Every structure is written in C-alpha cells, then in structure tokens.
Chain A
C-alpha cells in the first residue's frame, strides 16, 4: 500500500476529489470547461505515454482524436448505433490507425518521425474533409445525442462529467500499471538509449507498435467522448493546432509524469477560457499557450508541484547566478 503513496498519486487523488466535487458549485458554462479539461486530460495522457515513456514525439495526435470522434459520429449517423457499441468500434478503428502509423517506425527515427506523424494527421484530416459519403465532408455531422449506455441515456452534462471522470481515473491507473511493468520499463529503456536496449535483447519495433496502438486507442476514446459532448463534429477541429496544444499540455506537465499532465490540462484549458474576459483588451488569448510553453522550456522542468522546488531553483538560480551554470559545464 505504501508503494502507492507517492507525491504523484497524492496529487492525482487531490485533483480527482476536487473535480468530483466541482459540479456542486459550477454553472453550466464552467462545467463545460471542466469537461473539456477531462477530455484534454485523457488525450494528453495518451500522448504522454507516447512522448514521455515511449520517447516518440507525435505531432499528429489530433488524428486519433479525430478518428475516434468521427467513428462514433458516423456510426450513429449512418447506423443509429448507441455509444456502448460504438465504443468497441472506436477502440478497434483507432487501434488500427495507431498500428498503421507505427509501421514506418521500424525504419525511421528522430526528425523523420515528426514529418511522418504530421503528414499522417494531415492525411486523416483530408480524408475526413473529402469522404463526403461517410463523413459528410466540410458540413460535419450535427445533432449527435448524449451518451447512451445500454439503453440508459444521459440527460445532463453532470452525468457526462462523471462518466468522463471515470475514464480519466481509468486512464491514469492504466498508465501507472503500464509504466511499472516489463512493457513500460522496456519502452523507457528504448527512450533512454535504443542501442543499449537492443543489446539487452529488447525488440524495438514490436514495442513501438504496441505503444502507438495503446496511445491511439486512448486518444480515440477521448475523441469519441468529445463528439458526444459537442453534439457535432467538423473536420477543422482536428487540425495541427489541437496536436500542438496537446504537446504543450504534456510538456508543461512534465514528460512521463501523468499527474503533471492532469495539472497541465487544468492549467492550459482553464487559462485561455479565463483570458476570454480580457478579449476587449487583447484578442490573442491563445498566445497564453505559447507563453506558458516558453516559460516551461526556460525552466527546463515541469511546472506542477512535483518539481516546483527544482523549478524555482532553476528560475531564481538562473537570475541570481546567470553565469554559474556555464562555469559548472
């Protein structure tokens, strides 16, 4: 039991408790923002698995989010299926998409991965835009009903909120199980030194395929929830911007740090919404993303409490002793 009482899990518990109590005091608008937070949490955790544990930066993660959203939307629109059946297909199709993207990874590394993932997202976006018969193209699919689970239809956003919260919890727990296992260790070894990992007998390619698939499935689940939250899907939502803001969340929260990702999601979802009220002064509130990212990069550490001490040291250490680090090197 003691094993689980580390700072990260405590932060996770605190966040979950606060989130669970939040609907008691929020107005509908705030609740909606919090649901976006939850979706971003799931989405960003899936990317953190790929980036922080797997060591592969995906610049096209929005593709899986989009595929997840469109899978459930199309199944509802064309076949009238409800969420409980759609869910299985979301897993299946996003899993296959992840597998497909992982295939070139047997041969490429580094910056080529960036190009491939970015292009993949663009291709998915183009398919969504132009496959009129299935996705209705630019028009998007409108009127997606609230989630229907085995005949039980959610009728309020509060129910939706708690349903999504369960997914946040499950994702977090799954990530921790995964990291603390043979698969998780092998992935981290590959991230740190792929040659040494190979010398220890780790087969790089199968592990890459697995991590891409799992990551894609989780991102797809977040996307499918998104479709039911917004009640409509349109292609322009799932563009590169979404991928980049997801990367921002992961970087702010700390690579490989899932509790940090939760904080990062809260921070980077609520902050731009909060800044909305200053729109009359300053229209470019989305600049907040970039600004936060630059600060974090500068600190070279994650923001959240987990590494706050080091972050402050880095911040003030740099201001006070600007030349010290150079001397140390």
Chain B
C-alpha cells in the first residue's frame, strides 16, 4: 500500500483550473519530487494536501486513511507537516519556542491548564523542552536556542523551519522549495540533510526548482504543467521525456532558462 495516494485531485478558482485531475502515489521511505514550471500548481497541491484548500474533486489518502477535506489542524495530527516557500518563522519568538510550536498538537494540556502551574502542565513542559533539545541537536541549532528566530542566518532559518516541521512527528514531510536562495555549497549540504531526514520520517514530498538537486536526491519525480500531470517516473525517465522538455524549454526556437526561477 502506498504511503500517500492522491486520486483525481482537482481544484478550480473561478474559471481557472489550478490543479487538474492529478493522481500520484508516494511510497514508503522515498523522496518524491513535484516539479514544474512557475505557476504549474505545485504549491497549490501542498495547500490541498495540508487542508488550506478543499479540493473540488478527488481524494487524498494518507496511510490508508482518507484525509480529503480535513482542516489544517486535523491534517497535522494525521501526520502531514510542511515548510514554506518563503520562510515563515515566528519572528518575535525564540528558536526554542518556534520548535515548541511545531509540537503543540502533541502537548496534551489545554488552555485552562495553561493559566496556572499544575503537575500536568509542568510535566508536559519538561517533556516538550527535552524533545526540543533533541530536535535542535538534530538540525544543528543547539547554540542558537534562545536567540530570536529571525536573527539566524538564512540557511539556519531554513533548517529551523524544517526542524519545526520535524518535531510534529509527521509521517510525511512536505518541503516547499527548501533550496531557494541558497548558494551551491549550501545546496550540497541541504541535499545531504534532506536525504538524512528519511531516518526521521516515512516519506518526503519535495517541491524544488533546482534541477540538479532534484535529480540527485529524488527516488521519483512527478512533473506538473498547467495543473496537470505530464509525466511521472524515476529521474532518468523524466529527464528524457519530450513533454517535460517542452514544458520547460518550449518548442524549438523559444528560449527559457531551465533553472530559472
């Protein structure tokens, strides 16, 4: 059974079909990449999976359970966790607090018990901080624990965002353009890091524009154009698919940059 199964997913915004009858599967322990030219609907797919949008048609099945139309908080507790294309950290909070927000749905005391000290709250706070320590070590940010999140350098902010998604203990991690704005050295480091994340989660869905990175680390690639899937397969197949080349490069005589943002 596939870890994630997307069946005939469609969403329309007015007359625009942003995602058109999209089906693909993600397998256990694999990195699946979603690529496509700008405006192909990649981020919309993530928004559909995570409950920000409700699809007009189609189904999302996570680990055998239908999660179509679930709200964002339900999706998080079912085990989908995401990062954002443009980093969205909680800017006035410390690095540690950002991590703690990532695991808030697993902290089992409610708003009323938040108001005063009590054994349940103390116990959970202690546990949460222990876990935050472990995750900070995992993403190599232990030294920055009490710093303001936005004071971190760019690459570390990315890692913090990934750490924040990771601490939610998701089944699948959705990474929306994690390499955006990074230099080649940072990208190399990031690709190793993403690969290593498979020890923590059961599958990774990666959206990325950097073809080298995608080809290097993906087990499977799904190509979108104008909201519809045009190709699916291992990196070699996708690279040689004429439709993909056309989507990226255009027909003969029209010039576009492959990696152009």
Which residues from chain A sit less than 8 Å from chain B, CB to CB? 174, 177-178, 181-186, 188-189, 191-193, 195-203, 206-207, 210, 214, 256
Do A210 and B93 touch across chains, with their CB atoms under 8 A apart?
Answer: no
List 29 A–B pairs whose Cβ atoms lie within 8 Å, in order of A's numbering: A174-B116, A177-B116, A181-B125, A182-B104, A182-B109, A182-B121, A183-B114, A184-B114, A185-B93, A185-B104, A186-B101, A188-B97, A189-B101, A191-B92, A192-B92, A192-B93, A193-B88, A193-B89, A193-B90, A199-B52, A199-B88, A200-B76, A200-B102, A200-B164, A201-B73, A201-B77, A201-B104, A202-B73, A202-B101
CB-contacts of B76-106 with A (<8 A): 76-77, 82, 84, 88-93, 97, 100-102, 104-105
Which of A174, A178, A196, A210 is close to B89, meaning CB atoms less than 8 Å apart? A196
Which of B84, B104, B116 has the largest number of chain A CB atoms within 10 A? B104
- Nearest residue (CB) in A for B105 is A201
User: Count of B residues near A, CB < 8 Å?
Assistant: 34
Q: How far apart sit A184 and B107, CA to CA, in the bound complex (Å)?
A: 13
Do B90 and A199 touch across chains, with their CB atoms under 8 A apart?
Answer: no
Q: How far apart sit A199 and B98, CA to CA, in the bound complex (Å)?
A: 13
Do A196 and B84 touch across chains, with their CB atoms under 8 A apart?
Answer: yes
Do A192 and B115 touch across chains, with their CB atoms under 8 A apart?
Answer: no
Residues of chain A contacted by B97 (CB below 8 angstroms)? 185, 188
A197-B101, A200-B104, A202-B73 given; A181·B115 CB < 8 A: yes
Do A203 and B73 touch across chains, with their CB atoms under 8 A apart?
Answer: yes
Which of B107, B111, B124, B125 has the largest number of chain A CB atoms within 10 A? B111
- Expressed in whole angstroms, the minimum distance between the Cβ of A3 and any Cβ of chain B is 11
Residues of chain A contacted by B77 (CB below 8 angstroms)? 201
Which of A188, A193, A199 is close to B82, meaning CB atoms less than 8 Å apart? A199
In order of increasing CB-CB distance, the 4 nearest A-B pairs are A201-B76, A183-B114, A181-B114, A196-B88
Which of A181, A189, A207 is close to B121, meaning CB atoms less than 8 Å apart? A181
Residues of chain B contacted by A200 (CB below 8 angstroms)? 76, 101-102, 104-105, 164, 168
Do A195 and B88 touch across chains, with their CB atoms under 8 A apart?
Answer: yes
Residues of chain A contacted by B105 (CB below 8 angstroms)? 200-201
Does B50 sit at the interface, judged by CB under 8 A? yes
Does B117 sit at the interface, judged by CB under 8 A? yes
Chain B, 229-250, contact with A by CB distance < 8 Å: what is the 0/1 string?
0000000000000000000000
- Expressed in whole angstroms, the minimum distance between the Cβ of A170 and any Cβ of chain B is 11
Which of B75, B90, B100, B111 is close to A210, meaning CB atoms less than 8 Å apart? B111
CB-contacts of B160-206 with A (<8 A): 164, 168
Do A202 and B104 touch across chains, with their CB atoms under 8 A apart?
Answer: yes
- Nearest residue (CB) in A for B167 is A200
Do B91 and A198 touch across chains, with their CB atoms under 8 A apart?
Answer: no
Chain B, 106-141, contact with A by CB distance < 8 Å: what is the 0/1 string?
010101001111000100110000000000000000
